């Protein structure tokens, strides 16, 4: 990540406020198991090896794509078994291609969680779309995520058409959020998805309820090339600790904000200091917004909201680092950073 800490990074447009928070195959069948009966058996099934010996080991890269807020990050976390991508009800939460690693006895999936494809209105939006396009050109499988509780719309059809530009990758349709729709609605959505193109597989899932996740992993592994293991068996992500911490802070800051503010938030880490004598990690971070009015919203009355952001973020960070955390947050203004190429570079985009 480009270091955004130079003194000239926001010139005269940067102001400070401080708060310390130390306190077309046929769709996969909808079996009884898929709808939540005997779900506890799924992990056991995943560990079984087929008769006749272990299958050929497969490994490769899978990218989940779709409109913003269709459950890509939630699905990535559910498959990895650990939080590697932040989630939010706000569209366009994901801003980087985040790799999560799924281990199975017969293979390894490297999941690349990408930003939602959208029609960009800022330079940041253009760069995020370019990131998605670059990512899709390098993966073995593309999983198009379409929610079960929403009709297929122009955005879904647009993204589906874009998949034709990547003929090398296998295409799997993933109908997400089946826990939010009736059986009838899910069945109708599966039929509608089947009409979009000839898929290598169609799998309905619920990441929240852990329904059909093993079925999805099985289909993804079948579509990967035979390969040796690409990452160590204990790896869950390629993201560094600093990057994961900054994302957890941004996730906490997104909670409860409205309108354009979610898109205007960015987080950088100034410093992380290990206090071995106290078993304490000190983190000094910046929250960037684009306007003075947004700064006031993030800070809140007498710093109340910024303090809450620190508390929520710290509760997520401490289990990650395995020790107590002192978190200092400063809010700064970087005017129109989403449209400024220099500021985008300094903020890691």
Identify whether residues 103 and 161 lie together within a single domain.
yes
Identify whether residues 86 and 211 lie together within a single domain.
yes
Q: Known binder of ligand: residue 114?
A: yes
What is the domain extent for residue 289? 11-22+240-346
Q: Known binder of ligand: residue 76?
A: no
pLDDT attached to residue 136: 82
Q: Known binder of ligand: residue 178?
A: yes
Q: Known binder of ligand: residue 143?
A: no
As a whole number of angstroms, the distance between CA 349 and CA 345 comes to 5
Identify whether residues 191 and 259 lie together within a single domain.
no
Residues paired with 285 in a beta bridge: 269, 329
Number of domains observed in the structure of the chain:
2
CA-based R_g, the chain, Å: 21
For 113-177, give the DSSP string: E-PPP---SSHHHHHHHHHHHHHHTT-SEEEEEEETTS---HHHHHHHHHGGG-TTSEEEEEEE-
Q: Known binder of ligand: residue 147?
A: no
Identify whether residues 79 and 205 lie together within a single domain.
yes
Residue 184 lies in a domain: yes
Identify whether residues 124 and 105 lie together within a single domain.
yes
From 298, 285, 291, select the one nearest 347 (Cα to Cα). 285
Domain end call among 222, 249, 264: 222
Q: Known binder of ligand: residue 314?
A: no
Q: Known binder of ligand: residue 73?
A: yes
Q: Known binder of ligand: residue 36?
A: no
Q: Known binder of ligand: residue 132?
A: no
Is the sign of the CA dihedral 119, 154, 77, 218 positive or negative? negative
Q: Known binder of ligand: residue 203?
A: no
Give the pLDDT of the chain (349 residues) as one tens digit per residue.
444 334 333 333 333 444 444 444 445 545 544 444 344 434 433 433 444 556 799 999 999 988 888 988 899 999 999 888 877 655 555 656 667 899 999 999 999 877 656 565 677 667 666 777 777 888 999 999 999 999 999 999 999 998 999 999 999 999 999 999 999 999 999 999 999 999 999 999 999 999 999 999 999 999 999 999 999 999 998 788 998 998 899 889 888 666 556 677 888 999 999 988 888 999 999 999 888 888 988 898 989 999 999 999 999 999 999 999 999 999 998 887 777 777 777 777 6
As a whole number of angstroms, the distance between CA 307 and CA 298 comes to 10
Domain end call among 222, 253, 285: 222
């Amino acid at each position: 990540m480009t270091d955004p800490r130079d003194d000239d990074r926001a010139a005269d447009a940067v102001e400070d406020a401080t708060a310390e928070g130390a306190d077309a195959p046929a769709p996969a069948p909808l079996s009884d198991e898929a709808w939540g009966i005997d779900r506890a058996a799924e992990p056991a099934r995943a560990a079984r090896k087929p008769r006749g010996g272990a299958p050929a080991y497969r490994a490769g890269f899978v990218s989940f794509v779709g409109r913003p807020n269709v459950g890509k990050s939630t699905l990535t976390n559910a498959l990895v078994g650990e939080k590697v991508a932040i989630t939010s009800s706000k569209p366009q939460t994901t801003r980087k291609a985040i790799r999560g690693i799924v281990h199975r006895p017969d293979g390894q999936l490297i999941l690349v969680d990408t930003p939602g494809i959208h029609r960009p209105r800022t330079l940041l939006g253009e760069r995020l779309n370019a990131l998605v396009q670059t990512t899709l050109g390098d993966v073995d499988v593309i999983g198009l995520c379409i929610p079960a509780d929403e009709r297929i719309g122009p955005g879904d059809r647009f993204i589906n058409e874009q998949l034709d530009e990547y003929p090398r990758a296998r295409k799997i349709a993933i109908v997400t959020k089946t826990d939010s729709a009736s059986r009838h609605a899910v069945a109708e959505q599966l039929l509608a998805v089947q009409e979009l193109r000839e898929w290598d597989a169609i799998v309905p899932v619920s990441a929240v309820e852990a329904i059909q996740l093993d079925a999805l992993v099985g289909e993804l592994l079948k579509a990967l090339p035979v390969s040796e293991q690409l990452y160590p068996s204990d790896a869950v992500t390629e993201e560094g600790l600093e990057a994961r911490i900054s994302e957890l802070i941004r996730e906490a800051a997104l909670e409860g904000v409205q309108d354009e503010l979610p898109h205007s938030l960015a987080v950088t880490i100034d410093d992380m200091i290990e206090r071995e004598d106290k078993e304490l990690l000190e983190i000094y971070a910046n929250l960037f917004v684009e306007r003075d009015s947004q700064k006031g919203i993030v800070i809140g009355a007498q710093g109340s909201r910024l303090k809450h952001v620190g508390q929520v973020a710290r509760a997520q960070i401490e289990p990650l680092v395995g020790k107590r955390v002192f978190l200092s947050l400063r809010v700064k203004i970087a005017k129109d950073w989403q449209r400024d190429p220099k500021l985008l570079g300094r903020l890691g985009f």
